[in-house]
Amino acid sequence: MSWSRDEMVRRAATEVQPGTIVNLGIGMPTEVANYIPLDGSVTLHSENGLLGMGPYPTENQIDARLINAGKQTVTALPGASIFDSALSFAMIRGGHIDLAILGGLEVACNGDLANWTVPGKLITGMGGAMDLAAGARRVVVLMSHVSKEGNPKLVSQLTLPATALGCANRIITELGVFDTAGDCFICVVRAESVSQVAIERSTGARVLFTTVTAGRG
Partner 1 sequence: MSYTSPPIEKVFPKVESALNGLLRDGMTIMSGGFGLCGNAEACIEAIARSRVRNLTIISNNCGNQGQGLAVLLKNRQVSRVICSFVGGNPDLADLYMKGQVKVELSPQGTFAERIRAGGAGIAGFYTPTGVGTVVADGKEVREIDGKKYLLERPLRADLAIVRAAVGDIDGNLRFYRTARNFNPIMAMAADITVAEVDKLVHRGAIDPDDVHLPGIFVKRVVEVRDHQDVIEHRTTRTLVGRSSTS
Residues with catalytic function: 47
Region class of 207: left (phi > 0), else alpha (psi between -120 and 50), else beta: beta
Which of 73, 110, 181, 188 forms a contact with partner 1 (CB under 8 A)?
73
Cα–Cα dist 107/140, whole Å: 11
Among 54, 40, 33, 49, smallest CA distance to 92 is for 49
Tell the smallest beta-carbon distance from residue 109 to partner 1 (Å): 16
Shortest distance, position 160 Cβ to partner 1, whole Å: 11
Q: Residues 155-194 vs partner 1: string with x where CB under 8 A?
A: ------xxxxx-----------------------------
Q: Please select the residue that binds partner 1; options are 2, 43, 88, 144, rule is CB under 8 A.
A: 88
Piece of 43-51, 141-149, 181-189, 205-213 that binds partner 1 (CB under 8 A): 43-51
Reported as type and span, the H/E element at residue 7 is: helix 5-13
Residue 64 makes contact with partner 1 by CB under 8 A: yes
Of 17-25, 124-132, 178-186, 195-203, the window that binds partner 1 (rule: CB under 8 A) is: 124-132
* Residue 120 binding partner 1, by CB under 8 A: no
208 touches partner 1 by CB under 8 A? no
- Measured between alpha carbons, how far is 3 from 176 in angstroms, rounded to an integer? 8
- In whole angstroms, how close is the CB of 133 to partner 1 at the nearest point? 8
Full DSSP string of 89-143: HHHHHTT---EEEE--SEEETTS-EE-S--TTSPP---TTHHHHHHHSSEEEEE-
CA nearest to 23, candidates 166, 104, 131, 169: 131
Burial class (CB in 10 A: 0-12, 13-18, 19+), 74: buried
77 binds partner 1 (CB under 8 A): no
Listed in sequence order, the residues at least 6 apart from 125 whose beta carbon sits closer than 8 Å to its beta carbon are 116
Q: How far apart are alpha carbons 73 and 82 in whole angstroms?
A: 15
Any contact of residue 46 with partner 1 (CB under 8 A)?
yes
27 binds partner 1 (CB under 8 A): no
CB of 57 or CB of 217, closer to partner 1: 57
Residues that bind partner 1 (CB under 8 A): 33-34, 46-50, 55-59, 62-74, 76, 82-86, 88-90, 92-93, 112, 122-131, 134-135, 161-165
